Amino acid sequence: MSSVRNPDRPPTASAAFWDEARLRQLASPTVTAQDLAALATLLSGVKEQDEALPAEALVVLMASLKANDELSTDGRAAIHLNIIARMINRLRIQRVLKRHPLIQDERIERPLIVTGLPRTGTTLLQRLLAQDPNSRCLPFWEALQPAPSGDWPPRDADPRIDDAAELIAVTSRKNAKMKSVHATDPESPEECTLLLLNSLVYPAFDQYAHVPEYIDWLRQRSLLPTYQYYVRQLQILQFAHRAEHWVLKAPRHRRYLDILLQVLPTAQIVLTQRDPVKSITSACSLRMTTRSAYQDSVDPLAIGRRAMDKIRDFLEESIEAFDRMRRELDTGQFVDVQYADMMRDPIATVRGIYEALGYTYSDAFETRMRQWLAENPQHKHGVHRYTPEQFGLDRHELFELFKPYYEANGIEREPI
């Protein structure tokens, strides 16, 4: 077996711990969920076992990864290490909940949650909303490790911040294009996906590798327990540091809005709308950039074919189901934001959201947004270029497929 070149390791483990033999073992397709759980227990500093480990989900996920012949040696080890990191988080979450039972009494009131199709401006909007001095966002370092390894240290001296910085540095060295696609730093607001992945029962594992068996298994199950676990993590984070309201975001929340509002009934939802052809093509480019960290080569046509499968599912089922769900749920908790409007006047867009949903807008908030926009111009980290044809997609066919979606949502077509 080829040498394994220091794949991303859980931030809880020293580099010395990950010797060549251990990394080679983790790069093997035969590694089991039990192997990963044993390492997680060793590294977590927690003596108890995970009392709610979703064993069946792990078996299906590991089998799906084993069947994947696209992963590189480094990529397979990195994904296994990612799962170990999730297991370590679970052990520490369990411990902090036992030590501080009052955490479960924390109330997550009127969180402001941004969602929409991928690549529709959710990150920009989230980072603007997070400039409100009365808000509380989910910084990358907390998303990476929501529970501390011991007692909570002073917030500005938390070692998890350095862990996050190290992981970002490693990722940037391995995948230089990622910065132009989705730039981040330890303090940047991050999406909720990392918290949801700690459940080990969430479809976002497919961003790292093609795991169709696992995704099919998930489709047969409710994600209510996953979202309940997500809220428990928000309670832990709020117990340590609170503000008037949360600012959260994840594009995948859109698919599970009914469940999201079961667990967070007072949530206020901002739905971003963008030219779906542009959105899907950008998402294909992001998927290709992400997968390149785990595969020696990535076939853009395969990315496009899988995207078309998702498009058909979206058009045949998701749009109708989403519209029906929104009609049933809508109690004035939703506001739509057009990407084109946000790019033309982001300040007015945010002001409109606050007016529609009843949050208090302030001069201090606007000043901070203007400063953030000045410091973070579009394309600051490079231009993200892509075309549908790059992924074997026909733009004219896509425009026709999405014609009802454009008309129903008043979306402007964008040049591609």
The strand pairing partners of 135, in sequence order, are 245
Is residue 121 a part of any domain in this protein? yes
Give which of 107, 185, 114 is closest to 375, Cα–Cα. Answer: 185
At residue 388's C-alpha, the angle toward residues 386 and 393, to 5°, is 155
**Residue 253, both tokens:** 């929340």
Q: Is pLDDT at 179 greater than 90 in this prediction?
A: no
The strand pairing partners of 245, in sequence order, are 135
Q: DSSP assignment, residue 376? A: S
pLDDT category, 1, cuts 50, 70, 90? very low
- Residue 6, pLDDT score: 58
Distance CA 72, CA 75 (A): 5
**Of the listed ranges 149-153, 258-262, 305-309, the one predicted with least confidence:** 305-309
What's the whole-model pTM score?
A: 0.92
Report how far Cα 98 is from the mean position of its chain's Cα atoms. 27
Is residue 159 a part of any domain in this protein? yes
CB 123 within 8 A of CB 182: yes
- Residue 210, pLDDT score: 93
Give which of 400, 393, 402, 387 is closest to 276, Cα–Cα. Answer: 402
Give which of 376, 381, 375, 8 is closest to 164, Cα–Cα. Answer: 8
Is residue 272 a part of any domain in this protein? yes
Element (H, E) at 135: strand 135-136
Give tens-digit pLDDT for 70-105: 999 989 999 999 999 999 999 999 999 999 999 999
Is residue 82 a part of any domain in this protein? no
**Residue 359, both tokens:** 């949050």
Number of domains forming the structure of the chain: 1
Distance CA 335, CA 170 (A): 38
Domain housing 297: 107-409
Which is more confidently placed, 173 or 98? 98
pLDDT category, 382, cuts 50, 70, 90? low
Which range scores top for mean pLDDT: 3-17, 143-157, 181-195, 400-414? Answer: 143-157
Which is more confidently placed, 413 or 83? 83
**Of the listed ranges 156-170, 187-201, 237-251, 262-276, the one predicted with least confidence:** 156-170
Distance CA 96, CA 237 (A): 11
Is residue 205 a part of any domain in this protein? yes
CB 160 within 8 A of CB 145: yes
54 to 18, 67, 99, 226: CA distances (angstroms): 26, 20, 22, 10
Q: Is pLDDT at 247 greater than 80 in this prediction?
A: yes
- Residue 168, pLDDT score: 87
Q: Is pLDDT at 239 greater than 50 in this prediction?
A: yes
Reduce the DSSP state of residue 113 to 3 states and report it: strand
- Mean per-residue pLDDT over the chain, rounded: 89
- Residue 18, pLDDT score: 58
At residue 283's C-alpha, the angle toward residues 406 and 407, to 5°, is 0
Is residue 250 a part of any domain in this protein? yes
Give tens-digit pLDDT for 252-300: 999 899 999 999 999 999 999 998 888 889 889 989 988 998 998 999 9
Return the exposure string of 15-34: e unless at least 16 CB atoms fall within 10 Å of the residue's CB, then b. eeebeeeebebbbeeebebe
At residue 301's C-alpha, the angle toward residues 297 and 305, to 5°, is 125
Is residue 201 a part of any domain in this protein? yes
Report how far Cα 74 is from the mean position of its chain's Cα atoms. 22
At residue 246's C-alpha, the angle toward residues 194 and 170, to 5°, is 30
Distance CA 223, CA 196 (A): 10
Average pLDDT over residues 125-143: 97
Is residue 232 a part of any domain in this protein? yes
Average pLDDT over residues 57-62: 96
* CATH at residue 274: 3.40.50.300
- Residue 2, pLDDT score: 44
Q: Is pLDDT at 249 greater than 60 in this prediction?
A: yes
